[in-house]
């Protein structure tokens, strides 16, 4: 665990990656904060070993980051929503999260982006608007001055984590392994300033993330 990070706020804590990340942060010795939109989600966050706080990426959420040393953005609009939600959550929400992290004094930021966000035009046509949103959210984070890491996983699955990934090419990746990669990034300052693609693979996560 990095000496400079102890409290980690997770935006999108009730999502597929966020739910898997909270207990891993607690196990690794961090003090996780799970930011959720609804009171109905509070108990689930508490059961995952995190402090639940209310915040809505489309409304008010900055106070929920109070006291955090690091912020992890795992939120997403989801495949069943329209492009309006993609803009408001994956782009505008991410931008506001970066601003809120800086405002609340959190220096470390890990962004869950997407493979293909570096070059949206090369992606499949139906996904290009989503990749454009991720591209500009990533760019904003890079220019923010925060100690940032961007993770760009390929297609996500519900499979059990393997603890192993690849960073150049490979198969779909379990959400559990993306969650563990976030923890590994927080533990390794050599990941700061990097955008890292993630695939299912055979290399232990901590080793795969090293430059």
Is the pLDDT confidence value at 199 over 80?
Answer: yes
Output the CA–CA distances (angstroms, integers) from residue 6 to 29, 67, 141, 164, in the order listed: 8, 10, 21, 25
pLDDT of residue 80: 64
Mind listing the pLDDT tens digit for each residue in 88-107?
999 999 999 999 999 999 99
Domains and CATH numbers, the chain: 7-208 (3.40.50.720)
More confident residue, 81 or 195: 195
Is the pLDDT confidence value at 47 over 60?
Answer: yes
> Strand 203-204 to strand 164-166: parallel, antiparallel, or no bridges (unpaired)?
antiparallel
More confident residue, 15 or 1: 15
The contacts found for 118-127 with CB under 8 angstroms, 24 or more apart, are: 118/152, 118/195
pLDDT of residue 2: 58
pLDDT of residue 84: 83
Angle 116-145-187 (CA atoms, 0-180°, nearest 5)?
75
Mind listing the pLDDT tens digit for each residue in 105-125?
999 999 999 999 999 999 999
Mind listing the pLDDT tens digit for each residue in 77-87?
766 667 788 99
Percent above pLDDT 70 for the chain: 97
DSSP notation for 62-89:
GGGGTT-SEEEE-----TTS-HHHIIII
Active site residue ranges: 130
> Contact 56/37 with Cβ under 8 angstroms?
yes
- The pLDDT of 12-19, averaged and rounded, is 96
pTM for this predicted structure: 0.95
Confidence tier at 76 by pLDDT (50, 70, 90): confident
Of 1-5, 91-95, 142-146, 173-177, the one with minimum mean pLDDT is: 1-5
């Amino acid at each position: 665990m990095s000496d400079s990070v102890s409290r980690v706020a997770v935006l999108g804590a009730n999502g597929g990656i966020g739910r898997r990340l909270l207990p891993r942060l607690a196990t690794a010795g961090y003090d996780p904060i799970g930011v959720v939109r609804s009171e109905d989600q509070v108990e689930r966050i508490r059961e995952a070993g995190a402090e639940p706080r209310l915040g809505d990426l489309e409304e008010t959420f900055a106070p929920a980051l109070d006291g955090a040393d690091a912020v992890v953005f795992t939120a997403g609009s989801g495949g069943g929503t329209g492009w309006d939600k993609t803009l408001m959550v994956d782009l505008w929400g991410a931008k506001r999260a970066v601003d809120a992290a800086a405002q609340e004094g959190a220096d470390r930021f890990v962004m869950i982006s997407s493979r293909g966000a570096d070059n949206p035009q090369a992606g499949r046509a139906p996904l290009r608007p989503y990749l454009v949103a991720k591209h500009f959210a990533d760019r904003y984070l890079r220019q923010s001055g925060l100690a940032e890491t961007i993770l760009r996983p390929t297609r996500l699955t519900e499979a059990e984590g393997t603890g192993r990934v690849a960073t150049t090419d490979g198969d779909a990746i379990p959400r559990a392994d993306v969650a563990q990669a976030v923890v590994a990034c927080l533990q390794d300052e050599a990941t700061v300033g990097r955008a890292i693609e993630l695939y299912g693979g055979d290399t232990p996560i901590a080793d795969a993330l090293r430059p």
